[in-house]
Amino acid sequence: MAYDDKLIAEIVGRVMAGLDNNSTSGNNTVPVGVSNRHIHLSTADLETLFGAGYELTPIKDLSQPGQFACKETLTIVGPSLRPIENVRVLGPVRKASQVEISRTDSFTLKVKPPVRESGDIAGSAPVTIIGPKGVVTLKEGCIIANRHIHMSTDEGAAFGLVDGQYVDVEVNGERRTKFYDVQVRVHKDFRLEMHIDTDDANAAGIGNGAKVKIVKK
């Protein structure tokens, strides 16, 4: 079969269109990151728990720039007095300490954390944090993180989404699921990833790196 320039151009165009349709933004899919229980600390609480002048020890960069997992782990306790040990600290330090857990964890601790955006801790559940050098009791600061999607400014434009918007997300597979009211967070420094906790991940039968599909409301 003979190929002329016009036919070759047409074939190349079809191939490129197919690649575009399979791109992340083109088919509205995003990768998943599963967040286990973790702790964010203020400088004051960090020093209470580990000693004056203590600094966090990064061991692994997380998906979002500037965020990292630390070598340090702590124990959290609620009214049940049943501790959850080895809860990872994430850096860098924040203005206020925050403990993020799953609903399953809340049954163990006997606390009633609200579902919130990270950083929104006003009126949230109290919890006690035990460290090697001291103890911190937060009057508020324990939450269940809401389902959310990080994306850069360019990715937000590609998806046609803005910061603070809410979308639904479809999960295909053995345990087909749909997550409703997923918050979109757009910032120039963010990288595309949907964050869910271990309860949601187990319910949907997915893990880190799974692909889910955005469905606009």
| Model confidence pLDDT, tens digit, residues 2-57 | 556 655 555 555 444 443 433 444 578 999 999 999 999 999 999 999 999 999 99
Q: Say if CB 101 and CB 37 are below 8 A apart.
A: yes
Q: What is the domain partition of the chain in residue ranges? A: 28-33+147-216, 36-144
We find that the CATH architecture of domain 28-33+147-216 is: Beta Barrel (2.40)
- Over residues 71-94, the pLDDT tens digits come to 999 999 999 999 999 999 999 999
Determine what percent of the chain falls in helix, strand and coil, rounding each to the nearest 5: 20, 40, 35
- Over residues 117-168, the pLDDT tens digits come to 999 999 999 999 999 999 999 999 999 999 999 999 999 999 999 999 999 9
- Over residues 171-188, the pLDDT tens digits come to 998 899 999 999 999 999
Q: Say if CB 66 and CB 187 are below 8 A apart.
A: no
Element (DSSP H or E) covering residue 110: none
How big is the chain, counted in residues? 217
Peptide linkage before 113 cis (omega within 30 of 0): no
Q: Where are the alpha helices (DSSP H) in 77-141?
A: 103-109
User: Model-level pTM?
Assistant: 0.84
Q: Which residue has the tokens 């997915």?
A: 206
Q: Say if CB 100 and CB 41 are below 8 A apart.
A: no
Cα torsion through 50, 99, 123, 169, rounded to 10: 160
